[in-house]
Every structure is written in structure tokens, then in C-alpha cells.
């Protein structure tokens, strides 16, 4: 039990008496200690300011779309600009039911619980309500048994006590503020990690969806090709039986027909596997693949909103996460520096006890008001090393923040450049596919009339199929590149209304 300050048994009683005897000596020493601490505090280091300089504009050419259309794109929910109801449903379902989304939410809840516990440790005094009770029985086996009024040396002795002691550190230098900065920085990093995971999930769903649609187009093309080959085979076989052409022409077409049918079977299996992967990604892995329709068309890549590189500092969740980690690192450094200063602790307490001895009983109430001063004299070398350690960690956080900004700019710039190139490529291949189709139609008509031989027809058909495959691949690539551009520009979440703020409500 801590004794009161005025109790002669208290160790602080003698210190107080010595203070009275020495007059102003203690005051002068305390003043010197405070001045020295203040000077040390003023010399505390802080992380250097990161270099976040970015170009005023992207070097990438603007998207081939009207500015009004580009400005209308909502980056928070960029997938809606594709005008595909099934894509919207898949992404919304994934953000709710996907294992990745649920794992990210669980990690965020863990971070929120950690922050709550750390803040409670900072601002709530430490202490406990402790109680005890005991009974002791004494029996005289040999010797005189005393039994006077008010005193007996045998029988039962009961005692009960209830104590409530509290310890509270006086925050004279801002330790709690620094620790709170660290706690908030750690939680903010976890929050932006949650947002980044959801943004990546939305992009992954969209890319998988468009890739599946691309496979559906390839499958339809393969089936059309097989149908054309079958028609060509029937015609060549009939002409061979009539002796108009060599029978080897039919055999040659039969080989091409077998290859076309085999390619269609392979694409059918790939499409089914892609649909299963997409269902798993959205949290619908047990549903049949037939529940997911994939139309054999992809459409045109929509416009990307006009933006400037400086927006990346606000829109990219990974950049915001790096900034939060720098804030936490600065708080850690501050806490390490303040650990070198003296600590002042108050320890009030109150207690109640009752003792019942053979022949008498008593009840006692005790209150205490104690204080302590802890100066880490011999720990200064170790604490100085800790400061250097956290200073190095803070510098790493600064570098990581700068790298995140530069990486974000590079990803956005590259995605815009590649998207612009893909859009031009789609236009060129679309014209090439149309010309190749007209050439095939002309060759087919000539073969049916007997004006062209089989080699000419096969050559024109192969040219058309190659042009058609390249055009379809360019369309799919342009769409997936648009998704990458939206993600690189920080799309997929709302900086003004983060999903993490309402995720657990």
C-alpha cells in the first residue's frame, strides 16, 4: 500500500523535509532540469520534407474522344462508363462478396481495433480495483492458551481489503500527441490499403470480364470459320466427284476443316475456364458457368477523364497510404526522442480494509497521493541509438513516399500513352478487316463460279481471318488498357467519401 505524502513512513516525507531544509536548492535544480529538457526538445529532429514535384501535365496524347465526354467520366465508379449492366453487377457483387474484399475488410477491422486499444492506453489512466479476503485459524497444541477479554491467541482471524490504485503520467512534452500521430498514421495506412485492394479488385474483375468477352468473339469466329470450311469442303468434294477438279482439293479442305473445329473446341474450353475464374473472383464460385453470359462483342473503349499529375496525390490510395506511413514514422521518431526526457507520474489511491481477530475487530480506510520522477540517466546511450533507428526509418518512409508518387505518375503516363496507341490501332485494324472481308467475299464468289482456284480462295480466307483476329485482339486490349488507365489515375474509390468509413457501420 502506498503511504500518504504526509506520513513519516513515506519515502517522500524525508525528501519534502530535505527540500524545506535546503530552501530554494530544489527549486533551482528543478528549473535547470526543465530548461535542459526544453533545450533538448527544441533540438529534436523531424523527417525531411519529401520532394513531390510532378510535371504540370501528362505527355501522353489526349484520348480520341470529345472533351465533354471525357469530363463526364466518374473516376469513383469508372466501370459505369462502359454502359454494361452485367459488368456493373459483377463489380458491385465482387466488392461485397469476393474473398479478397472480405479479407481486406477483416484486416481493416483489425486495424481499427488495434487503434482503439492503443488510444485507450494513451488517454485512460492505468489502475485496477483489487480485493482480497482470507481466514486464518489458530489452534494451541502445546502451551498456554490465552483467553482474556479482547484478546485470544487461538480461533479464527478474518481479513478483507479493497484497494483502488491509479497511475497517470503527466504529459509535459507532448508524448501522447506524438504517440497519437503514430497510431492515426498506422490506421490511415490500413484504411488506404483497404481502398487500394478494392480498387484493384474492381479493375481485375473488369479485365477478366473483357478477356472473357474476347474469348467469346474468338469462339464465334472459330465457329464461323469452321462453317465456311465445311461449305468449301462440300463444294470441293462435289466438284471432285463430278470430275471438275482433282479430288485432292477436298482432302486439303478437310484438313483445314479439322483444324478449325479443333480450334473452336479449344476456345470453348478456354471460355468456360475464364467464366469460372470470373465467378470465383466475384465470390460466386459455386454457381454454374451458364449463369454468366458473355456476348461475342466488346464495344469501344470509353474516354478517359482529363486530369493533371497533381491529382494523383489525392486520388491514388497507394500514394495516400505512403503518406500515412510517413506520418506514422514521424510519430515514432517523436516518441523515441521524447523517451529521453524525464517522466512525471501521479499515483493516487484509496483502500478499505477490515480485520477480525479473536476478541477484537477493526476497520481501516486509507488514501494515498503519491508522485514519482523518472530520469533515464543511464539509458541515454540506448535511447539515442533508438532515435537514430527511427530517424533512419523515417527517411525510408520519405523515400517510399517519393517513390510512390513517381511510380503513380509513371503508371498513369504509360497507361495513357498505350491507350492512345491502342485506340489508333483499333481504327486502323478495323479498316483492314473490312478490306480483307471484301477480298474474301470476292474470292468466294469467284470460286463458286469456277473463276478462281482453291488456293486463291484459301489465301483470301486466311488473310481475312488474320485481320479479324488482330482487330478483335486490339479491341480487347484497348478495353483492358482503359481499365488500367482508370486504375492508374486513382479510380475505383471516393477520396471524399471512402468506403472504409462506412464499411463496418
Q: Given a cut of 50, is residue 69 above it in pLDDT?
A: no
Q: Given a cut of 90, is residue 4 above it in pLDDT?
A: no
Answer yes or no: is 366 within a domain: no
Instruction: Please name the residue ranges forming H helices in 161-316.
Output: 175-241, 248-281, 312-315
Residue of 139 and 503 predicted with greater confidence? 139
Which domain, by its residues, includes 390? 57-126+177-340+383-501
Burial class (CB in 10 A: 0-12, 13-18, 19+), 398: buried
Answer yes or no: is 27 within a domain: no
Predicted pLDDT at 153: 66
CB contact burial 374-395 (16+ within 10 A = b; e otherwise)? eeeeeeeeeeeebbeebbebbe
Q: Given a cut of 60, is residue 25 above it in pLDDT?
A: no
Please compute, for residue 140, the number of CA atoms within 13 A of its CA located in the half-sphere on the CB side.
Answer: 10
Q: Given a cut of 60, is residue 129 above it in pLDDT?
A: yes
Stretch 496-504: mean pLDDT: 70
Q: What are phi and psi of 421, to 5 degrees?
A: -65, -40
Q: Given a cut of 80, is residue 21 above it in pLDDT?
A: no
Predicted pLDDT at 247: 60
18 pLDDT band (50/70/90 cuts)? very low
Predicted pLDDT at 208: 94
472 pLDDT band (50/70/90 cuts)? confident
Predicted pLDDT at 257: 79
Stated pTM of the model: 0.79
Predicted pLDDT at 484: 93
Euclidean distance between the first and the last CA atom of the chain, given in angstroms as a whole number: 45
371 by DSSP, 3-state: which? strand
Answer yes or no: is 20 within a domain: no
d(C-alpha 183, C-alpha 191), whole Å: 12
Predicted pLDDT at 205: 96
What is the tally of structural domains in the chain?
1
Predicted pLDDT at 151: 65
- Residue 100: CATH number of its domain: 1.20.1600.10
Answer yes or no: is 134 within a domain: no
Answer yes or no: is 435 within a domain: yes
Predicted pLDDT at 456: 76
Strand order of the β-sheet with 360-374 is: 126-138, 155-170, 343-357, 360-374
Query: Grid cell 503518406 — which residue?
Result: 323
Q: Given a cut of 50, is residue 66 above it in pLDDT?
A: no
Answer yes or no: is 30 within a domain: no
Answer yes or no: is 377 within a domain: no
Average model confidence (pLDDT) across the chain: 83
Q: Looking at beta carbons, which pairs linking 395-401 to residues 24 or more positions away fall under 8 Å?
A: 395/47, 395/48, 396/329, 397/47, 397/322, 397/325, 397/326, 397/328, 397/329, 397/330, 398/47, 398/48, 398/50, 398/326, 400/322, 400/325, 400/326, 401/50, 401/52, 401/319, 401/322, 401/323, 401/325, 401/326
For the record, the C-alpha cell of 342 comes out as: 524525464
Stretch 82-101: mean pLDDT: 93
d(C-alpha 417, C-alpha 129), whole Å: 67
For the stretch 89-98, pLDDT in tens is: 999 999 999 9
Predicted pLDDT at 449: 76
Predicted pLDDT at 357: 78
Q: Given a cut of 50, is residue 38 above it in pLDDT?
A: no
68 pLDDT band (50/70/90 cuts)? very low
For the stretch 273-305, pLDDT in tens is: 999 999 999 999 899 998 988 888 877 888 788
Residue of 218 and 388 predicted with greater confidence? 388
Q: Given a cut of 90, is residue 72 above it in pLDDT?
A: no
Q: Given a cut of 50, is residue 13 above it in pLDDT?
A: no
Predicted pLDDT at 244: 59
Predicted pLDDT at 9: 41
d(C-alpha 343, C-alpha 169), whole Å: 7
Predicted pLDDT at 358: 72
DSSP codes of every residue in 407-436: HHHHHHHHHHHHHHHHHHHHHHHHHHHHHH
Burial class (CB in 10 A: 0-12, 13-18, 19+), 323: buried
Residue of 412 and 4 predicted with greater confidence? 412
For the stretch 223-250, pLDDT in tens is: 888 887 777 777 777 767 666 555 666 6
Q: Do 192 and 324 meet the contact criterion of CB atoms below 8 Å apart?
A: yes
Q: Given a cut of 50, is residue 367 above it in pLDDT?
A: yes
Answer yes or no: is 167 within a domain: no
Q: Do 278 and 209 meet the contact criterion of CB atoms below 8 Å apart?
A: yes
Predicted pLDDT at 300: 80
For the stretch 475-497, pLDDT in tens is: 889 999 999 999 999 999 998 88
Contact partners, residue 326, CB within 8 Å, separation at least 6? 47, 50, 185, 394, 397, 398, 400, 401
Amino acid at each position: 500500500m502506498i503511504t500518504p505524502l504526509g506520513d513519516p513512513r513515506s519515502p517522500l516525507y524525508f525528501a519534502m523535509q530535505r527540500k524545506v531544509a535546503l530552501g530554494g536548492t530544489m527549486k533551482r535544480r528543478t528549473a535547470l532540469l526543465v530548461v535542459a529538457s526544453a533545450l533538448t526538445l527544441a533540438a529534436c529532429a523531424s523527417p525531411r520534407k519529401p520532394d513531390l514535384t510532378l510535371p504540370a501535365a501528362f505527355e501522353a496524347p489526349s484520348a480520341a474522344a470529345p472533351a465533354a465526354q471525357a469530363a463526364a467520366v466518374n473516376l469513383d465508379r469508372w466501370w459505369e462508363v462502359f454502359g454494361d449492366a452485367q459488368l456493373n453487377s459483377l463489380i458491385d457483387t465482387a466488392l461485397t462478396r469476393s474473398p479478397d474484399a472480405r479479407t481486406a475488410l477483416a484486416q481493416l477491422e483489425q486495424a481499427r481495433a488495434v487503434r482503439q486499444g492503443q488510444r485507450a492506453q494513451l488517454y485512460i489512466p492505468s489502475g485496477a480495483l483489487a480485493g482480497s479476503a482470507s481466514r486464518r485459524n489458530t489452534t494451541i497444541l502445546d502451551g498456554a492458551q490465552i483467553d482474556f477479554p479482547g484478546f485470544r491467541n487461538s480461533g479464527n482471524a478474518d481479513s478483507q481489503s479493497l484497494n483502488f490504485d491509479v497511475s497517470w503520467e503527466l504529459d509535459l512534452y507532448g508524448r501522447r500527441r506524438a504517440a497519437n500521430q503514430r497510431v492515426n498514421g498506422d490506421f490511415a495506412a490500413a484504411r488506404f490499403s483497404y481502398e487500394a485492394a478494392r480498387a484493384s479488385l474492381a479493375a481485375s474483375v473488369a479485365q477478366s470480364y473483357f478477356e472473357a468477352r474476347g474469348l467469346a468473339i474468338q469462339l464465334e469466329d472459330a465457329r464461323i470459320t469452321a462453317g465456311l470450311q465445311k461449305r468449301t469442303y462440300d463444294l470441293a468434294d462435289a466438284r471432285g466427284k463430278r470430275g471438275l477438279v482433282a479430288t485432292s482439293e477436298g482432302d486439303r479442305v478437310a484438313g483445314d476443316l479439322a483444324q478449325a473445329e479443333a480450334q473452336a473446341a479449344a476456345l470453348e474450353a478456354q471460355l468456360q475456364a475464364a467464366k469460372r475464374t470470373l465467378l470465383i473472383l466475384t465470390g460466386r464460385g459455386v454457381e454454374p458457368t451458364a449463369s454468366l453470359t458473355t456476348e461475342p462483342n466488346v464495344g469501344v473503349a470509353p474516354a478517359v477523364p482529363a486530369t493533371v499529375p497533381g491529382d494523383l496525390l489525392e486520388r491514388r490510395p497507394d500514394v495516400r497510404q505512403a503518406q500515412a506511413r510517413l506520418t506514422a514514422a514521424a510519430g515514432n521518431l517523436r516518441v523515441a526522442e521524447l523517451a529521453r526526457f524525464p517522466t512525471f507520474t501521479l499515483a493516487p489511491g484509496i483502500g478499505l480494509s477490515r480485520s477480525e481477530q479473536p476478541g477484537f475487530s477493526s476497520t481501516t480506510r486509507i488514501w494515498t497521493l503519491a508522485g514519482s520522477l523518472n530520469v533515464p540517466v543511464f539509458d541515454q546511450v540506448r535511447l539515442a541509438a533508438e532515435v537514430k533507428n527511427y530517424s533512419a526509418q523515417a527517411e525510408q518512409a520519405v523515400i517510399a513516399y517519393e517513390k510512390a508518387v513517381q511510380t503513380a505518375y509513371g503508371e498513369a503516363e504509360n497507361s495513357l500513352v498505350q491507350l492512345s496507341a491502342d485506340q489508333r490501332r483499333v481504327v486502323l485494324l478495323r479498316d483492314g478487316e473490312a478490306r480483307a472481308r471484301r477480298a474474301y467475299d470476292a474470292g468466294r464468289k469467284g470460286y463458286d463460279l469456277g473463276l478462281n482456284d482453291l488456293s486463291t480462295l484459301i489465301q483470301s480466307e486466311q488473310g481475312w481471318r488474320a485481320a479479324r483476329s488482330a482487330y478483335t485482339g486490339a479491341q480487347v486490349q484497348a478495353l483492358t488498357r482503359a481499365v488500367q488507365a482508370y486504375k492508374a489515375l486513382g479510380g475505383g474509390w471516393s477520396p471524399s467519401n471512402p468506403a472504409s468509413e462506412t464499411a463496418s457501420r
